[in-house]
Amino acid sequence: MKRFILENSFYDDKNNYKNMTTIKDVAKIAGVSVGTVSNVLNELDTVSDKNKTRVMDTIKTLRYKPNKIAASLSKKKTMNIGLVIPDVSSPFYSDLIKGVTETLDAHGYNVFLCSSSGDIGKEKKIINDLLAMWIDGIILIPVYSNKRDIKEMESINTPMVLVNREIKGLTRDIVIFDNFGGAYEATNFLIKNNHKKIIILDGPKYSRPFEDRLLGWKTAMEENKLYNKNLVFRGDFSVESGYDMMVKSLNELKEIDAVFASSDLIALGALNALEEKNVLVPDDISIIGFGDIYLSKFLKPSLTTIRRPFYNIGKTAVSILLEKIAGKSDEEGFKKFVIKGKLEIRNSVKEK
């Protein structure tokens, strides 16, 4: 049973209200054909001024709103983009989300935000759902997984760009942060300030970003003849792990000059350990972090670190995606965009 509220509007039997003024109503009242109304809506220059104003007026009086679903069906274009992220609440990705949504919005696109919860099966399902909704493109931060079916992903023909994590064997455009370069720069900053014995507190081995950061540190150290494998400590990405590694290093080594922590959370744990042992930062030991999370500038001392420009990463990903959607990049193969970090100099490194 339909309950009518206004002309052309009603609550359906499920109590869902839909505004039902259609393009046909507009056409009839304006005294033109539906094609003409459509042309006005799409700003095609084939309509006479007389009819244009007539149509616009009736649109206003009828409070007509074009139905984008119907337009999408007809045009085969939805102006919707899917953004798939392992954890939507992670402070790491909030700036990325912002960069992506704001840039897409500026181009008239809307974004479906989806959380894969770090689960490869969920990620797959989400991508399938997005494809069924005929989204025009996908921006994906892939889940780490060795169960990944590359063939299946390769067969997806909707434009897609990966962010922040590479997938071996997958030939897709990707925007990635320069972990190597950031670590290299951070380490060189310490070296330039006359620190010699610089340990690294790194994350797990299976993680590519942490491997890259280790390599950046190692390269800088080797170039300055400071490398020594005893300076390497590995754990996971947690604050606790940072604490443990710092304690361990203080027990094993003497006269540490500085600490390169592969993440700000590790640095935080290390900071706690140093305070507990009454080691002064930066007077006794300097410490540099990686990532610039929100709290880093509020720590005591505020943490010198490498900032990852996630907003820009998101923005870049969008512009690549939009190019692909526009069909400009017809070439085979794929591109890799490496976004550089920025050294945020604060108070945890002694400049000498």
Give the distance, in angstroms, between the CA of residue 48 and the centroid of all CA atoms in the same chain.
46
- Assigned token pair, 329: 């990049």
Residue 24 contacts which entry, a copy of itself, DNA, none (Cβ below 5-8 A, type-dependent): DNA
Q: How far apart are CA 340 and CA 342, in angstroms?
A: 7
Binding site for a copy of itself (CB under 8 A): 5, 9, 11-12, 14-19, 65-70, 72-73, 76-78, 80, 83, 87-91, 94-95, 97-98, 101-102, 105, 110-115, 117, 128-129, 131-134, 136, 157-158, 239, 268, 275, 294-295, 298-300, 325-327, 330
Contact between residue 235 and residue 241 where contact means Cβ atoms under 8 Å apart: yes
Residue 45 contacts which entry, DNA, a copy of itself, none (Cβ below 5-8 A, type-dependent): DNA
Q: Which is nearer to a copy of itself, 44 or 73 (CB)?
A: 73
Instruction: Find the binder of DNA among 11, 29, 41, 219 (CB under 7 A).
Output: 41
Q: Considering only the stretches 61-69, 98-106, 240-248, 263-271, report the one whose residues sit in contact with DNA under the rule CB under 7 A.
A: 61-69
SS3 category, 301: coil
Q: How far apart are CA 215 and CA 192, in angstroms?
A: 18
Alpha helices in the chain (DSSP H): 23-30, 34-41, 49-62, 68-75, 91-106, 120-132, 150-154, 179-192, 208-223, 239-252, 264-276, 310-326
Contact characters 287-326, DNA, x per CB under 7 A: ----------------------------------------
Q: Which of 205, 201, 204, 206 is nearest to 217 (CA)?
A: 201
Strands of 286-288's sheet in order across: 232-234, 198-202, 258-261, 286-288
Q: Which is nearer to DNA, 131 or 215 (CB)?
A: 131
Q: Which is nearer to a copy of itself, 170 or 253 (CB)?
A: 170
Q: How far apart are CA 165 and CA 212, in angstroms?
A: 12
Instruction: Find the binder of DNA among 34, 62, 215, 232 (CB under 7 A).
Output: 34
Q: Say which residue the tokens 């996908």 belong to.
A: 138
Q: Which of residues 4-23 bind DNA (CB under 7 A)?
A: 18, 20-23
Interface with DNA includes 207 (CB under 7 A)? no
Return the sign of the alpha-carbon dihedral for residues 235, 341, 145, 85.
positive
Interface with DNA includes 230 (CB under 7 A)? no
CB of 53 to DNA, least distance (A): 11
- Binding footprint of DNA on the chain (CB under 7 A): 18, 20-24, 31-36, 38-39, 41-42, 45-48, 50-51, 64-67, 70-71, 73-76
